[in-house]
Amino acid sequence: MVITAQLPTASVFLVSGGAKGVTAQCVIKIARSAPCKWILLGRSALDASEPDWAVGCEDEPLLKQRIMQDIQARGEKPTPMAVNRIYRSLMSSREIKTTLTTLESLGSEAVYVSADVTNGAAVKDGIAPAVARFGPITGVIHGAGNLADKLIEKKTEQDFERVYGPKIKGLENLLNAVPASQLQYLVLFSSVAGFYGNAGQSDYTLSNEILNKSSWLIKQQHPSCHVVAINWGPWDSGMVTPQLKKEFERRKIDVLPVDDATDMLVNELNPCTHDTAQVVVGGPIHPPLAVIDGELKTHRLRRRLSLDSNPFLHDHVIEGKPVLPFTCSLSWFGNAGEHLYPGYKTFVCEEVKVLKGIVFDDSLADEYVLDIQELSKCEDEIVLEGKVWSLGPNGKPRYHFSNRFTLVREIPQAPKLETMDLTPDGVMSLEGTEFYEVQPNPLFHGPTFHGLKKIINIDEQRVTAQYLARNIGHQNQGQFPSLTLDAYISDIQTHSVWIWLRHFYSSVCLPAKIVRFEHWQTPPYDQPFYTTTTLVSKTETRLAIDITVHAEDGTIYSRITSAEATIFPLSSKVA
């Protein structure tokens, strides 16, 4: 449903990039709702009239032929570049004139000002005659922008300026020409790339996110002004060719129909949305799917770790020192694989080993290296082997974790656990934070890792537990964000093993190896889920168990087959 903008008819809008493309379509849709006065600002020159040979010619091949003939008549050589330049100039002028004519037919007054929005003096001088004619500007729509899509290592300073200048320097120049204190409306055309990020658009992402933050800041400084940054997804317009649209469909990126998108803009100008400073219209821009070829490749990824960058470590302290949870190695490998192979997800990890844990003390290395080797690959799955290592004080490699992991295009449907038993046996009365705080020898984990709620039943061969985990947030996750795998829930779901060992054997353990880990989905946050843990084997110093994480109906979230751990007496410092 379209809500009318309800703009005062005396409104005077300055619109950057507003005479052509989607910005022009937005202006026209607003004008249908409220015939205002429009100052349309753009870099393109506006020819007062067309040459006689171009008038009335709409056919592109014929028009280009006439351009060639005109160039030849002037004694010049008609190169393809010269022909295309004149053709684009003609079409640009036609589009600008069509926009102006359409606005006037809707009862608006409109003028076009040819000026580069990155040139502050040109903007001020260019709009002065229009302001003298229409009166003070009461609204600004900043729609100007450029693209220079390249991977960041290939971008030049000129690429950056081409993208950053119109967006940010342009906004600065507009607000220098028209003080924000006199504005009733300020609309900034941002992008979902600024909100979600997008490969190959580091400068565009940065520029649009600055627009987003500017919207909030200006709104704070001028609360009576209707300020909004609209984070548009891709429009179904001339820039989205049929080939590009097909690619968007393959990457599951929604394309905005022009009519629907312009309706959304009109809605956002209604007084009922006055307090909304930022709107996202579209989903994440998923990267292109990885192209799989026959050559087996290797990758080397380097990372510096720090305690300050990983707040969750303050809740994972052993013997007074923050220690990286074993489960973070799973997300380290999995996240790296998913970034290297967009469109694939981590499904299986095998032969996952702790070779030397990472402690955040004087032993922390300056740099950690993740080496990944492709073992096999096809369209449906990629099998990789990875190792994390660093250089020790003697200059020799220290290996920390290893993992053979499989990425798949589509994670299969989760199976059901047929042998679960959720019948309480009343053996253990502890609940919630009592496992971590008040009982003798509580679990060492801090609040980030509090998730065990109750032990449902327990014996020497098996323990069933209920958990409830929360999303700790991107900032707390630091350098180990939750993508397909949530390292924090993966750690939490092992806590019943510690309780089981303490109850029957007065022991604790530290992880050493996972033979096989399968992950179908992450348990939902803030909702109960369960683990069924069964004993495989046990000696005085070694333990092997199976852990199945599942819903109340038995749907399996993840499954560990033979997790091996080293056992320590309860009196050990590890406890």
Q: Is the pLDDT of residue 1 over 70?
A: no
What three-state secondary structure class fits 260? helix
Q: Is the pLDDT of residue 228 over 70?
A: yes
Q: Is the pLDDT of residue 294 over 90?
A: no
In contact, 267 and 2? CB cutoff 8 Å: yes
What three-state secondary structure class fits 311? helix
In the chain, pLDDT over 90 holds for what percent of residues? 81
Cα gap 378→556, rounded to integer Å: 27
Cα gap 496→500, rounded to integer Å: 6
Cβ neighbours, 10 Å, residue 94: 15
What is the arithmetic mean of pLDDT over 328-354? 95
Least confident of 272-286, 300-314, 393-407, 520-534: 272-286
Buried b (16+ CB within 10 A) or exposed e, 378-400: eeebbbbbbbbbbeeeeeeebeb
Please compute Rg for the chain using Cα positions: 31
Provide CB contacts within 8 A for 56, sequence distance 6+.
none
Alpha-carbon dihedral sign for residues 524, 525, 530, 532: positive
What three-state secondary structure class fits 4? coil
Alpha-carbon dihedral sign for residues 433, 435, 437, 438: positive
Alpha-carbon dihedral sign for residues 307, 308, 312, 315: positive
CA distances for 516 relative to 291, 368, 534, angstroms: 27, 25, 15
10: DSSP letter = T
Render 150-172 in DSSP notation, one character per residue: --GGG--HHHHHHHHIIIIIHHH
372-428 pLDDT, tens digit each: 999 999 999 999 999 999 999 999 999 999 999 999 999 999 999 988 999 999 999
What three-state secondary structure class fits 381? strand
SS (H, E, C) 392-421: CCCCCEEEEEEEEEEEECCCCCCCECCCCC
Helix (H) or strand (E) holding 303: strand 298-303
Least confident of 51-65, 284-298, 439-453, 523-537: 284-298
CA distances for 347 relative to 290, 405, 474, 530, angstroms: 17, 8, 22, 20
Residue 441: the pLDDT is 81
Residue 246: the pLDDT is 73
Residue 196: the pLDDT is 84
Beta strands per DSSP E along 433-524: 452-458, 462-467, 507-519
* Pairing between β-strand 452-458 and β-strand 109-114 as defined by DSSP bridges: unpaired
Residue 453: the pLDDT is 97
Residue 283: the pLDDT is 74
Least confident of 247-256, 341-350, 374-383, 474-483: 247-256
Q: Is the pLDDT of residue 2 over 60?
A: no
- The torsion region of residue 383 among left (phi > 0), alpha (psi -120 to 50) and beta comes to beta
Does the pTM exceed 0.85?
Answer: no
Cα gap 399→308, rounded to integer Å: 23
Residue 242: the pLDDT is 72
Residue 406: the pLDDT is 98
Query: Hey, what amino acid is at 473?
Result: G
109-120 pLDDT, tens digit each: 999 999 999 999
Cβ neighbours, 10 Å, residue 133: 12
Which of these, 128, 121, 136, 135, lies nearest to 183 by C-alpha position? 136
186-215 pLDDT, tens digit each: 999 999 888 888 778 899 999 999 999 999
Residue 292: the pLDDT is 86
Cα gap 44→17, rounded to integer Å: 9
Chain centroid to CA 286: 8
Cα gap 136→152, rounded to integer Å: 42
CA angle 347, 416, 465 (to 5 degrees): 90
Q: Is the pLDDT of residue 329 over 60?
A: yes
Question: Residue with structure tokens 């939902």?
Answer: 524
What are the chain's domains? 12-48+94-281 (3.40.50.720), 298-408 (3.10.129.10), 432-569 (3.10.129.120)
Average pLDDT over the chain, rounded to an integer = 92
Paired strand residues for 458:
463
What is the arithmetic mean of pLDDT over 166-191? 96
Cβ neighbours, 10 Å, residue 545: 23
Cβ neighbours, 10 Å, residue 178: 23
Residue 47: the pLDDT is 87
81-127 pLDDT, tens digit each: 999 999 999 999 999 999 999 999 999 999 999 999 999 999 999 99
Q: Residues for the chain: how many in total?
A: 575
φ/ψ of residue 130, rounded to 5: -70, -40
SS (H, E, C) 418-459: CCCCCCCCCCCCCEHHHHCCCCCCCCCCCHHHCCEEEEEEEC
Question: Residue with structure tokens 């081409």?
Answer: 162
Cβ neighbours, 10 Å, residue 119: 16
Which of these, 315, 308, 309, 322, lies nearest to 363 by C-alpha position? 322
CA angle 199, 213, 175 (to 5 degrees): 115
Cα gap 247→309, rounded to integer Å: 36
Paired strand residues for 13:
38, 139
Residue 239: the pLDDT is 58
Buried b (16+ CB within 10 A) or exposed e, 313-344: bebbeeeeebbbbbbbbbbbbbbbbbebbebb
What is the arithmetic mean of pLDDT over 264-283? 91
20-39 pLDDT, tens digit each: 989 999 999 999 988 899 99
420-449 pLDDT, tens digit each: 999 999 999 899 999 998 777 889 999 999
